[in-house]
Structure 1
Amino acid sequence: MTTILAAVTNYSHWSEQARLINYYRLAPDNSPRLTKKVQQNMTMQLKASVLQYCAAASASETLPIIEELVAESAAEGASFVCLPECATFLSPNRQALYDQAEDEATSPSLARLCLLAKTHQVFLSVGSLLMRDTGADKCINRGYLLNPQGKISACYDKIHMFDATVGDGRTYRESERFQRGYEPVLAQTAIGNIGLSICYDIRFPELYQGLSEAGAELLVIPSAFTAVTGAAHWHILQRARAIETGCFVLSAAQYGTHADGRQTYGHALIVAPWGEVLADAGSSDKGFVTADIDLAACSAAQKRHGTAANRQKLMPVRIIS
């Protein structure tokens, strides 16, 4: 275990083959600006799985579930496996959440997941883990992309905080618990160009447009959608992001009633660039769905609707009264 932990916390040992490549810098207004585009993988084919389960209130309870499902996915031939947001636990209150958050440099959960990716020789999208922010009273909701060597290829901090009252009797204020991220992240890997995001980010299409313009082919949107918002918007949003960008969307999902009574929607999805739902986990409390992916479909879809070539830079809105 010590060897694996050293590998994932020493950034000088990140993989050269599937390393983090960040193509954005922050403008003064905190909006992302594209600085570079990468070559797309026109002939790559792969099998991908998205997991669905109900995370317990502790990582020790949830990690065995993850290990079981990843092993089963790999046995079915998946080379890319995706976990949902808050992959290892969903905690009932702010203090419990902070108490269970881990320090990245010594995170046992991250080390265990790196070993899992290496054991099964898969790329593993760890939807998000809750990490302590040094010197702050908030956590960081951080997604990781791990490669088959058990090393970190990329990480991404959730940008958009879910502050909303959705009509399920609860008020959500993620900004009170989490320190937001600022940088969009695209990872160029051996299985394709992967754009990272987390859950509520999906409601902000400009993020995904930027990732697509940078060369993304696979968009991961790990989620813990509420049952109310999921029933209303989940499938529409997933298909819209796929269609708009011409990318495959892979959305692992939480499902069920959690320790704090929160209900999540499920329906882990894989959506093709033309908007077809390739796989839907439905209302299964533990499982996964798998689909064959041909990255040639990305450029084909983009050519068919032509938006990449025809997009115009708009002037500011003129208001007439």
Structure 2
Amino acid sequence: MRAALLQMTSGIDPAANAATITAAIAEAKAGGAAMLFTPEMSGLLDRDRDRAAGSLFREEEDRVLAAVREAAAKHGLWVHLGSLAVLRGADEDGAGKLANRGFVIDGSGEIRARYDKMHLFDVDLASGESWRELASYAPGERAVIVETPLGMLGLAICYDLRFPDLFRTLSDAGATLLAVPAAFTRLTGAAHWHVLLRARAIEAAAFVLAAAQTGEHEDGRATYGHSLAIDPWGKVLLDMGAPAGLGFAEIEPSRLEMARSRVPVLQHRRAIPPIAAS
């Protein structure tokens, strides 16, 4: 089975970003992929809140989501749309804020699963960059897995990568693949991206598919790239480096069976009781 990963330099125009994704859907299908994975914030990457406001919609009105669903149905290809910024409705917790929401879309264009990023990035970096996701976004409240042509897929987004309890929950629930779409900064990417993704694959004995943003963006930020596919033994199957584009990785079930038989970590997990006060 083949997975396709789209490495993007998303900008401030959702229509242009949608065109990039829909072209990749056609290319991924032609390349024999069963499923395409796109990065975090595939539809819009703009930290100018006033400018971005005119491009933010509720899920049912989002034009990028509609275009991706249409293209998925046209080409009969499953798509993990890494995430979009969507307005939360009045019936959702955190109404009035945004959700950083990923979507799994099947080959008929139907949405099979949604996941809202649970861990939000609020930090001042030594580089001078400052990120305040909690000012605009409401965190998700639940972990999500979904059956796909590649296997049972557990969903995460970017900063979630640093919280292994989420990935333990996903693998305990039966995930054999983990999706980690991201827009890592260059500073944190160079230091932690590869090692954290390989660790999550090894700990969960699962494939990891991490489609990433890359390059210099219209809003002034710079992202790390290096979209990765990693097998359950921690072997890097694909590293896309810095250029934007489409890459492919083979997802072989035998690699899963090999890793889980050699080191049966899932069978040996134990619930850890609270630490007793001394």
TM-score category of the 2 structures, normalised to the smaller one: over 0.9
- Give the alignment partner of residue 307 of structure 1, picking from 265, 272, 277: 265
Pair 1:228-2:183 in alignment: no
**Matching of residue 281 in structure 1 with residue 240 in structure 2:** yes
The one-character-per-residue Cα deviations of 1:74-99 (angstroms, maximum 9, x if unpaired) are 21111110000001110132233333
Correspondence list, 1:73-92, <5 A:
73-92=28-47
Q: Deviations over 1:197-232 (max 9, x none)?
A: 111100001101110011101111000000110000
- Is the 1:225–1:254 Cα contact (8 Å) retained in structure 2? yes
CA contact (8 A) 2:150 2:251 kept: no
Q: 1:142-291 to 2 correspondence within 5 Å? A: 142-284=101-243, 286-291=244-249
Letter paired with 2:210: S
What are structure 1's unaligned runs of at least 5 residues? 1-45
Q: Which runs of 5+ in 2 are unaligned?
A: none
**Separation in 1, partners of 2:81, 2:231:** 21
Matches of 2:190 and 2:277 in 1, distance apart? 36
Asked if 1:56 corresponds to 2:25, the answer is no
The 2-side partners of 1:280 and 1:158 are apart by 24
Q: Find the residue that maps to 1:253 and give its secondary structure.
A: coil
- How much has 1:299 moved relative to structure 2? 3.3
Cα deviations across residues 64-83 of structure 1 (Å, max 9, x unaligned)? 12222222222111111000
The aligned amino acid for 2:246 is F
Tell me the CA shift for residue 295 of structure 1: 2.3
TM-score for the superposition, normalised by structure 2: 0.94
Distance 1:144 1:313, change over 3 A: same
Range 119-128 or range 64-73, more displaced: 64-73
Measure, in 1, the Cα distance between the counterparts of 2:245 and 2:145: 28
What CA distance in whole angstroms lies between the structure 1 residues aligned with 2:276 and 2:41?
42
Post-superposition Cα deviations, 1:125-184, rounded to whole Å, max 9, x if no partner, equal 000011111244321111000000111111111100011223221111101111111010
* Contact kept in structure 1, 2:86 and 2:99, CA below 8 Å: yes
RCO (CA 8 Å, sep 6+): is it higher in 1 or 2?
A: 1
Q: Aligned residue for 1:129? A: 84
Kept in 1, the 8 Å contact 2:11–2:219? The answer is no
Q: Is the 8 A contact 1:221 1:251 kept in 2?
A: yes
Question: Cα–Cα, structure 1 residues 190 and 62, in superposed 2: closer, same or farther, change >3 Å?
Answer: closer
Report SS of the residue matched to 1:261. coil
**Cα offset, 1:319, TM superposition:** 5.7
Percent of aligned pairs with the same amino acid: 39
Cα drift, residue 297 of structure 1 = 2.2
Name the count of aligned residue pairs: 274
Structure 1: distance between partners of 2:242 and 2:51: 28
Structure 1 residue 47 and structure 2 residue 5: aligned?
A: no
